[in-house]
Amino acid sequence: MPSGAFDRWKPHVVAAAVIEREDRFLLVEEQTSDGLRLNNPAGHIEPGESPQQACVREVLEEAAHDFEPQALVGIYLNRFTKTRTGEDLTYLRFTYCGRLGAHHDWRPLDTGIVRTLWMSAAEIRACRERHRSPLLLQSLEDYLAGQRFPLALVHADASVSR
């Protein structure tokens, strides 16, 4: 490597939502390179967005629901290797919980999302092999344990939206 040159590690930064209604949790079933997997509504933070704004957008795109974050459940770091490509990936995930709003049944779901479904915590625990990420279960368990942090914990400077 030339002097002064280096590869900088850059984790993928994502936002996710734990959404509960009547003791069931909203998940998405999505087509991945490893087959059909279950996940929270979640996705990459886009330029100009805060993690909270990305969470609202991702719930709308992946589940066709409005969503109002009310608390941060946790910030998680996860690393894994894709089984088909061997690609080494790291994700930094901001997970929120909040209030589910209107359902827009006319709205198409994001590319790769096959359907949304409501599952109990026991059902989610029973199908770990179908989880897209171990963070699905970790954030669910943290949510069920009552872990909540104020939204103000994550500060997005005004420069982000310029």
Tens digit of each residue's pLDDT (9 = 90 or more) over 80-112: 877 778 788 899 999 999 999 999 999 999 999
* 113, pLDDT greater than 90: yes
Q: What is the pLDDT of residue 1?
A: 44
Q: What is the architecture of the domain spanning 12-151?
A: Alpha-Beta Complex (3.90)
Joined together, the tokens standing for residue 50 give 């805060």
pTM of the complete model = 0.91
- Judge whether 137 and 131 are in contact, CB under 8 Å: yes
Strands 65-81 and 42-44: unpaired
pLDDT tens for residues 119-161?
999 999 999 999 999 999 999 999 999 999 999 999 999 998 8
Q: What is the pLDDT of residue 120?
A: 98
pLDDT tens for residues 29-79?
999 888 899 999 999 999 999 999 999 999 999 999 999 999 999 999 999
Strands 88-103 and 12-18: parallel
Domain boundaries, the chain: 12-151
Give the phi and the psi of residue 98 in degrees, each rounded to 5: 175, -155
- Judge whether 55 and 99 are in contact, CB under 8 Å: no
Cα-based angle 10, 16, 19 (whole degrees, multiple of 5): 170
Q: What is the pLDDT of residue 4?
A: 53
